[in-house]
Copies of this chain bind each other. A is one copy, B any other.
Amino acid sequence: MWKPDRLSDQTLFQQIADDLERRISYGEFPAGSLLPSERKLAEQLGVNRSTVIQAYAELRAHGIIESRSGSGTRVSKYKWGATPKHTPNWHRYAEGGNFLPNLPFLRRIREALGHNQTLIDFASGELAGDLSPVEEINLLMSEHEYTSYLGYDNPQGYIPLRQALVAYLKQYRGIQTTEESILITSGSQQSLYLITQCLLSPGDAVAIEDPSYCYSLPMFQSAGLRLFRLPVDDKGVRPDDIRSLYKKHRIKMVFINPNFQNPTGAVLDAERRKELLDVASELGLPIVEDDPFSLTAYDGVPPKPLKSIDPIGSVLYIGSFSKIAASGLRIGWMVAPHSVVERLADARQQMDFGLSVIPQRVAAQFLKSAYFVPHLERLRMHLLYKRDLLIEALHKELHELVSFTVPQGGLHLWCKIIPEVNDNKLLEEAIRRGVIFVPGSVYGSESGYVRFTYARARADEIGPGISKFSAALQEARVNKY
């Protein structure tokens, strides 16, 4: 008898549902006939009863079977009877729309992490639980009353949080702004989404760094944008490249992540910053400055944002709590001219009607609290420690097989593999051995790289993780294809 495959990528319940659908359509169970009870089928297949319950629920949702309490589960007469009824063709619907699916590598990584909680995680671009201010947030939530209002919030964001950010931006980022010029978003992600959806039109050309986080986002293609690349070296992007892209393709906007760039860790050189702003003002070209990492600067001196030296307002500035506090808060912000903020706030009302007030209040309190500065200090110290553990392990396990620039802030190390191996093979071998990372090709045109995030794994996992990676790399090099 058929049994589900526990090593398959497909979930058990989905395999069981697929198998039952096949058997029903082959006539093994005719319309109206009784299916085995959940308990019985679970026994036969050697799975938990809850797995069969899920499989039956999935078939029920597709109208393939029906359950009536007391009389068991039967093959649907509607669907399989003499006058067939039609369930919507959900697969066709799911293929519709403008949204491209996430990249296969990223889906594979999400799935692998979902199925195996013990994987050593060099892939998720976020902080480990113990680097987030969880204690502090618990305290703030129990200390403060959430009093009167839990209604629809201002679509531009909770005013006290915008006020707290005005002070934060001035103090920590040298940016002068007002609460009218701030939009609160669900992380930098939503800022990027709003910009691509609402300020650009299909067919528009934009420039993004190569490699960059943006390449991992089908969002840009979903919006119908034409992407042009700005190569990133140790000093970031070259302003001249922007000028020539503008001449050739009339680019409408430039997206950069100048401080401890994801994935390279590069910091845009001070000289180039000025030139870049000159090019922008010469061409009337907007620059989107995505700046989630700068407060992690290990030496305690974050690079100054472009926005702080932007004389004529060419820069849309994006920030987030994700990489300096907690990604699960889902709090980010954008600084932009009031007319732009108003436009985006109006559009976002149609998407989600604004953010929940609760995490916005928590974020505002945290920013204003005495916890904020000590948290940042602790965070920097721990990240530096983990970075050094990673570098030590790479030197020990892989020496001449890898090459990298040591990042001075951020969460990631961008590592060249010498000689290059097949990304897919390397990832699968690594997963089989209990470690996971992001193949460099996810971030653009460069192949032969790996992005290791050292912020997410526990300190004691970093050495063993690299040992496993090393074994996977050996296997992938031998077994080329």
Q: Which of B93, B97, B150 contacts A327 (CB 8 A)?
A: B150
Q: How far is the CB of A253 from chain B (nearest CB, A)?
A: 8
Q: Provide the A265-305 mask, 1 if CB < 8 A to any CB of B, else 0.
A: 00000000000000011111110000000000000000000
The answer to the question of A199 belonging to the interface, with a C-beta cut-off of 8 Å to chain B, is yes
B311-A78 in contact (CB<8A): yes
The answer to the question of A257 belonging to the interface, with a C-beta cut-off of 8 Å to chain B, is no
Q: Which of B88, B329, B350, B352 contacts A217 (CB 8 A)?
A: B350
B346-A107 in contact (CB<8A): yes
CA distance A13 to B338 in the complex (A): 11
Q: Provide the A298-317 mask, 1 if CB < 8 A to any CB of B, else 0.
A: 00000000000011111000
15 contacting pairs across A/B (C-beta < 8 A): A62-B312, A62-B313, A63-B314, A86-B281, A87-B312, A88-B284, A96-B199, A114-B154, A124-B152, A126-B152, A141-B141, A150-B329, A218-B350, A222-B350, A330-B352
CA distance A350 to B204 in the complex (A): 19
B312-A282 in contact (CB<8A): no
Chain A, interface size: which category? 35 or more
Q: How far is the CB of A80 from chain B (nearest CB, A)?
A: 10
Which residues on the B side are within 8 Å of A78 (C-beta)? 281, 311-312
B330-A353 in contact (CB<8A): yes
Q: Provide the A315-334 mask, 1 if CB < 8 A to any CB of B, else 0.
A: 00000001000111111000
CA distance A86 to B278 in the complex (A): 10
B340-A93 in contact (CB<8A): yes
16 additional A-B residue pairs with CB within 8 Å, beyond A186-B186, A329-B356: A60-B313, A63-B313, A85-B281, A87-B312, A90-B336, A96-B200, A132-B151, A137-B146, A152-B322, A153-B328, A190-B353, A219-B350, A219-B351, A330-B352, A330-B355, A330-B356
